[in-house]
């Protein structure tokens, strides 16, 4: 049974009005649909958070009632978060008809552990996490399961390798890579650094000191000149 969102119509707009609305525990939102004028509404932000945390995420179909009017099926199309606080500050909803085909993004859910990772020490690279499909609202899959257990190093799975889902047409490029296993990163061997050591110098006595000693020894050995009488 679809989640019911009870919304209230709002006529006033502007930063100050929206600030007061958020202070009261509500957030501004818009609901629009094919051939209809957008309707400005206010909703409980917890309703949007519940959608985002559900299994189907943004592809969850809800029933929306504005000021107690007849409930219409809708999906969360977009939302905005406060860039500083991270709080939900705005949401857009798309009204849908259950008999009209939709184009939307569906997330990829990987199953298993690649043998190239478990045995070969490779690294799994999850390249594409969602693909574009078209189907009726009642046929929207929560996710598309991809078994990666048999992937070895350098193996990959492309969009064209995905198992078909009943009543769902894949629109994404068939050559787009979903997941691959790459070889383990090689550790670079440190370069051998050769340190040249200078030979130790022999400490010698100063030249002046040696020469002075030699001169002194020569003086002592040489005979003194005789003095004539």
- For the chain (229 residues), the mean pLDDT of every run of 10, in chain order, is 86 82 94 89 95 92 92 94 93 95 96 96 97 96 96 97 95 98 80 63 53 59 50
DSSP letter assigned to residue 197 = -
So what's the pLDDT on residue 227? Answer: 46
So what's the pLDDT on residue 186? Answer: 78
So what's the pLDDT on residue 32? Answer: 92
| pLDDT per residue as tens digits for the range 126-146 | 999 999 999 999 999 999 999
Q: Is the dihedral of CA 136, 77, 25, 11 positive or negative?
A: negative
Cα(first)–Cα(last) distance of the chain, in Å?
149
Residues 6+ apart with CB under 8 A from 209: none
So what's the pLDDT on residue 229? Answer: 44
> Which tokens in the block code for residue 63?
């029933």
So what's the pLDDT on residue 228? Answer: 47
Rounded to whole angstroms, the Cα distance separating 114 from 121 reads 10
Paired residues of 39 in beta bridges: 31
Coil, strand or helix at 121: coil
Describe the strand order of the beta sheet including 130-135 as a list of residue ranges. 144-147, 102-111, 130-135, 169-170
So what's the pLDDT on residue 187? Answer: 67
In order of start, what are the domains of the chain with their CATH numbers? Answer: 3-95 (2.40.240.10), 102-182 (2.170.120.20)
């Amino acid at each position: 049974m679809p989640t019911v969102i009870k919304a209230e119509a709002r006529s006033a707009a502007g930063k100050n009005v929206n600030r007061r609305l958020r202070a009261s525990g509500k957030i501004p939102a818009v609901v629009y649909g094919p051939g209809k004028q957008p309707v400005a509404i206010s909703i409980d932000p917890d309703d949007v958070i519940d959608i985002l945390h559900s299994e189907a995420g943004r592809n969850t179909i809800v029933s929306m009632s504005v000021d107690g009017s007849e409930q219409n099926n809708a999906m969360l199309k977009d939302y905005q978060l406060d860039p500083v606080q991270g709080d939900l500050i705005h949401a857009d909803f798309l009204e849908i008809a259950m008999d009209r085909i939709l184009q939307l993004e569906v997330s990829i859910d990987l199953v298993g552990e690649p043998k190239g990772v478990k045995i070969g020490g490779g690294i799994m690279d999850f390249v594409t996490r969602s693909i574009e499909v078209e189907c009726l609202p009642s046929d929207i899959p929560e996710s598309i399961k991809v078994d990666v257990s048999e992937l070895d190093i350098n193996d990959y799975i492309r969009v064209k390798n995905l198992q078909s889902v009943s009543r769902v047409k894949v629109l994404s490029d068939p050559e787009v890579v979903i997941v691959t296993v790459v070889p383990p990163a090689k550790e670079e061997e440190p370069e051998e650094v050769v340190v040249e050591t200078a030979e130790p110098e022999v400490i010698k006595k100063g030249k002046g000191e040696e020469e002075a000693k030699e001169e002194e020894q020569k003086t002592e050995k040489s005979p003194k000149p005789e003095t004539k009488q």
